[in-house]
Structure formats: C-alpha cells, structure tokens
A = this chain, B = another copy of it.
Amino acid sequence: MTLPITFLSDYGLADEFAGVVHAVIARICPQAQVVDLGHGVPRQDVAAGARMLARALPYAAPGVHLAVVDPQVGARRRALALRTVEEDRLGGVAEAVEISASPWRLDPVSATFHGRDLFAPVAARLAAGEPLGEAGTPLEPGELVRIELTRARVEEGGLVARVVERDGFGNLALDATHRDLAEAGMRLGGPIGVRFSGRRASGTYVRTFADVRRGGLLLYEDAGGAPAIAVNGGDAGALLGVRPGDELRLEPG
C-alpha cells in the first residue's frame, strides 16, 4: 500500500526547488499522493517550521511527512527520518535513522540541495512501503536534539510574550496560552493594551475578528488555540512595527 506524503519547506515558490522535489518523488513513486502543507516557512527558521508542522499534522492522514528547513546547508546538522509512536505524530519517536549517506540518495549528492538529493528519494521510498531501517544508519534516542521553544511570562500585572510568527495577513502569534492571559488579569470581552518600543496600543480581547470594528486591534485565540494579535481588515505587524522574535507586553484595561 502506498502512503500519502505531506511536504513543508522554506523553499518559497519563486524558484523551482519545491517543484524539483515533487518531480523526484513522482519519478520514484508516481502513485504517491503529495500534499503541499506550504513552502513559506521563514528562511532557515527551524522553530517556525516546527510550529507550522505541529499545527498542520493533526489534520493530515498518517503517512510520510517531509519537512525541509535547513539552518545551515551542509553544516553539522544531520538529515533524519523518524518513525513516530503510533497515533502520536507530534510526540514520541519510535525509530530514528540518519539518512545523510542513505543508499536511496541521488548520486552525486550536491552540497546545497539535500531536499532533492536526500529527502525526496527517502520520502518516496518510504511512501512506497520500503522499511525505514533501510533508509540509513540507526540513531540512538539520546542523539536526538529537541527544539527549545520560548514561553511567555507573567510580570507585574502584565504578560511579556514573544511574537513567534507573523502570518500573511500580519496577524501575530504569541508564545502564550489562554491560561497565561487569565493569570495576567485579561478577561474575554475586556479591554487590553499592547506595549512595544515605548508605545501603547489599545484593543479588546475577543472571540472573533467581527467582535471589533474594522481597523480595531484585537487579541484572540487563533485556529491553533494560541493567543494572537490582529487588526480587523488590517495588518497588526505593520501597525505595531513588530516582527517575529520581538517581545511585547500585554496588559489588562
């Protein structure tokens, strides 16, 4: 049985990179269905890619998930293929294999395009049902490095949160939880303030965009369940002059 493949990367769509990866997969396993989760991960931003993958995978069918965001092409990072514990695609790792010298690679492997030369043929062969163990060299669980993600903190009646992502609409996802907002004194339906770089913008903590007037600032729970800041019909990132990585202070009232 052929497994479906999802594909996420930081390749963008200006070049042929994502297309060539598709071509390699189609050549090796033409019957595999490939779903592009997206190719707009900010360049080399492994944490942002991990967040996009974590948001998307619960909605995907079980199968092969190809994700390529290379912090330093050709550097000391290792190319991996993992098998997860059944029914838990975001958690436990059941088997890990290093594929840098995979017997399935395209020869010669280029120095800079491992998506094409390593990851695509490995994904295609796994989709075709070949065993993960033959994709490369086994890794010990202790050799895996887990990404450390930042976390908002309550401070003197406010919440200091980091902008972890700015989407195509300018909406700003925060490294906070619903509970953090409550602990810092913010209540659904109540006014909030956002401080950044010496300025303060006023908004409302609401359920949906339509709960504020057009152009109004809102704090809401995004589709993934995490607090986010937006402007109804506008661009919150542009309004606040904020970029991913910046720290904001959220306050009640």
Contact = CB atoms under 8 A, between A and B. Distances in A.
Interface of A: 4, 6, 8, 11-20, 22-24, 26-27, 30, 33, 35-40, 43-44, 52, 55-56, 59-61, 72-76, 106, 110-113, 116, 167-169, 207-211, 220-223, 225, 232-233
A52 B209 CA distance: 25
A4 B222 CA distance: 30
Nearest to A23: B60
A221 B74 CA distance: 12
Please tell me how many copies of the chain the complex holds.
3
Contact residues of A: prevailing secondary structure: loop
A18 B52 CA distance: 12
Contact of A223 (B112, B167, B221, B223): B112
B233 A30 contact: no
Contacts of A112: 208-209, 220-223
A8 B106 CA distance: 23
A111 B227 CA distance: 12
B111 A11 contact: no
B30 A4 contact: yes
Contacts of A56: 16, 19-20, 23
A27 to B, nearest CB: 4
B210 A75 contact: yes
Nearest to A24: B59
A52 B15 CA distance: 8
B19 A38 contact: yes
Contacts of A40: 13-16
Given A19-B36, A23-B60, A208 B73 contact: yes
Contacts of A55: 16, 20
The 9 closest A-B pairs by CB, nearest first: A74-B208, A113-B223, A75-B210, A14-B168, A19-B37, A14-B40, A12-B168, A23-B60, A27-B61
